[in-house]
C-alpha cells in the first residue's frame, strides 16, 4: 500500500514538473500531453473513489469476503497465526465472530475471552463484519473526499493549460 502511494506521488511530481516546463516554454505539444495526463488523473481518481466507497459501505461486496476470512480463522484454532490474527481483530475492534457470538456457539466452540468486554464481561453483540464495515466506512469517506479534491485540481490544471494554449 505504501509503495503504491509513493509511486503515485512520484508520478504526480514528474507530471507536475513537465507541466511547469511546458507552461514556461509554451510548448503546445507538451501542454497537450499534460492536459491528457490531467484528464487521465481525473478519470482514475473518480473510478478509484467509486471503488473505494463501494467496497467500504454497509451491505457492500466486501462483507462476504470478511465473513469468509473470519469463519476460516474460527475453524482453524490449532494454527497459531490464525489464533493471533483473530485475537487481534476481535480485541482491537471490539467484535465477536463473523456475525456475533452465535458463530462460536453454533460450532460448539467456547467463547474466547477476546469476545468479551474487559469491563463488564459481557460478550460483544456485533460481529466483526459489521464492526469492520463501520470502521472502513468512516475512514474511506475522508479518503474519497481528498481524492475528489485532487480530481478537481486536475480539472483546473487542464482548463488553465487549455487557456494558455489558446492565448
- pLDDT value, residue 2: 61
Residue 162 corresponds to which cell in the numbers above? 487549455
Grid coordinates belonging to 149: 479534491
pLDDT per residue over 10-31, tens digit each?
888 888 898 888 889 888 999 9
pTM beyond 0.85: the answer is no
Residue 1 has pLDDT above 70, yes or no: no
Determine the angle formed by the axes of helices 80-93 and 63-75, rounding to 10 degrees.
130
**Interatomic CA distance for residues 135 and 56, integer angstroms:** 9
Say yes or no to pLDDT of 152 above 90: yes
Amino acid at each position: 500500500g505504501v509503495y503504491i502511494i509513493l509511486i503515485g506521488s512520484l508520478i504526480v511530481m514528474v507530471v507536475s514538473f513537465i507541466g511547469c516546463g511546458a507552461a514556461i516554454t509554451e510548448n503546445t505539444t507538451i501542454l497537450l500531453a499534460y492536459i491528457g495526463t490531467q484528464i487521465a488523473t481525473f478519470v482514475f481518481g473518480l473510478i478509484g473513489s467509486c471503488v473505494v466507497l463501494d467496497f467500504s459501505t454497509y451491505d457492500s461486496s466486501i462483507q462476504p469476503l470478511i465473513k469468509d476470512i473470519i469463519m476460516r480463522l474460527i475453524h482453524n484454532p490449532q494454527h497459531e497465526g490464525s489464533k493471533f490474527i483473530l485475537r487481534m481483530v476481535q480485541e482491537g475492534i471490539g467484535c465477536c465472530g463473523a456475525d456475533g457470538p452465535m458463530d462460536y456457539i453454533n460450532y460448539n466452540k467456547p467463547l474466547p475471552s477476546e469476545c468479551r468486554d474487559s469491563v463488564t464481561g459481557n460478550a460483544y453483540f456485533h460481529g466483526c463484519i459489521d464492526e469492520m464495515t463501520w470502521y472502513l466506512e468512516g475512514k474511506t469517506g475522508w479518503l474519497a473526499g481528498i481524492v475528489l479534491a485532487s480530481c478537481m485540481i486536475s480539472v483546473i490544471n487542464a482548463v488553465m493549460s487549455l487557456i494558455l494554449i489558446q492565448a
